[in-house]
Amino acid sequence: MSLPLGPRIARCRIRQNAGGTALLDFLVERFTYHTREAWLAALAASRVLRNGEPATGHEQLAEGDTIEYRCGDLPEPPVPHEFQIVHAEDDLLVIAKPPGLPVHPAGRYFAHTLWAFLREEGHADLHFLTRLDRETSGLLLAARTPAAAKRFQELASQGRIAKTYLAAVEGEFPETLHASGWLHRDATSTIRKKRRFSPLQPHVPGEQTAETHFACLARRQGLSLLQAELITGRTHQIRATLCSLGFPVVGDKIYGRDETWFLRFRDGTLTEDDERALRLPHQALHSWRLSSPPSTAMAQQWTCPPPADFAALFPGTT
Which residues are tagged catalytic? 133
CA pair distance 253, 264, nearest whole angstrom: 9
